[in-house]
Amino acid sequence: MYQILIGTIICLVIALYAYNKKSLTINGLFGALCMGIVLTVCGGLYFLSLLITFFISSTIAGKFCKHLEKELSSIHQKCGARDIAQVAANGMPALLFAILFYLTGNHIFILGFATGIASSNADTWGSELGVLSKKPTVSILNFKPLRKGLSGGITFAGTMASFAGAVLIAAVFTIGYHHVYNDSSHALLLFTLCLFGGFAGSLLDSVLGATLQVKYYCEAKQMITEKRVTDGTNNKVFSGYPLINNDVVNFASSFIVSLLTVFVYMLLT
């Protein structure tokens, strides 16, 4: 019970700080707080530590490209503070596996939970730091030049940042697992699967962003954008499907790789 109380206090402090720093909207604050509390109920402070690692590290990564916010705002549907939809898109896949662990007690779902967090962290690091690359952004599908900031675009720097983001979560997950459950029998396998599952999630996110995510054409600015409306004028669909935005892509990519990672672990053990 004390872990839930401590976890709630920690979540409240971090969420309020993030809101004060304009990293979260008011509904984003509520969503992050609820998610943190549920994770603490499901897996104690250990589960919460992975979420906090993701939130803090991704927030720090976002500070590096703060000066590009105005430029990217003409492309991205959402910029600046994260709302509840963005919080859910990044955290819900992991939350589902955490709930499965709570209901079944099966430790395999902890791997699914951690992989979901690793995928979100890898994607966030890649997106936030990739736009700083001095090398041209290219499409993940055909490696042709792509406007900086558009979903589906990658850079070498962004890809390495994604890998590093997955490494961080995989390390916290593996070290924490050994500490909490005193079990290191499959530590290397768990670390490897979480790492590459998380990294694969960021790549899948780019693939889905390049193929299924909706993009619009703004005639006024003669550019491709992810914004449905620009300066009060509706933009025309250029590619993808209107119901599939960046939030949907984030959720789908993270959930798919988490599920696949669990299946691979079952096959190998």
Residue whose tokens read 């927030």: 59
pLDDT range class, residue 269, cuts 50, 70, 90: confident
β partners of residue 241: 213
β partners of residue 82: 24
Helices (H), the chain: 2-20, 26-64, 69-72, 84-104, 108-130, 156-181, 187-211, 246-268
**Is there a domain that residue 112 lies in?**
yes
Whole-model pTM? 0.92
β partners of residue 154: 138
Say how many domains are in the chain.
1
Which structure tokens are listed for 71? Answer: 């430029």
| Domain membership of residue 202 as a residue range | 2-212+245-268
Contact assessment for residue 150 and residue 175, using Cβ atoms and an 8 Å cutoff:
no
**Is there a domain that residue 258 lies in?**
yes
**Is there a domain that residue 237 lies in?**
no
Q: Classify the C-alpha dihedral 74-76-82-83 as positive or negative.
A: positive
Is pLDDT of 100 > 80? yes
Q: What percent of the chain stands above pLDDT 70? A: 93
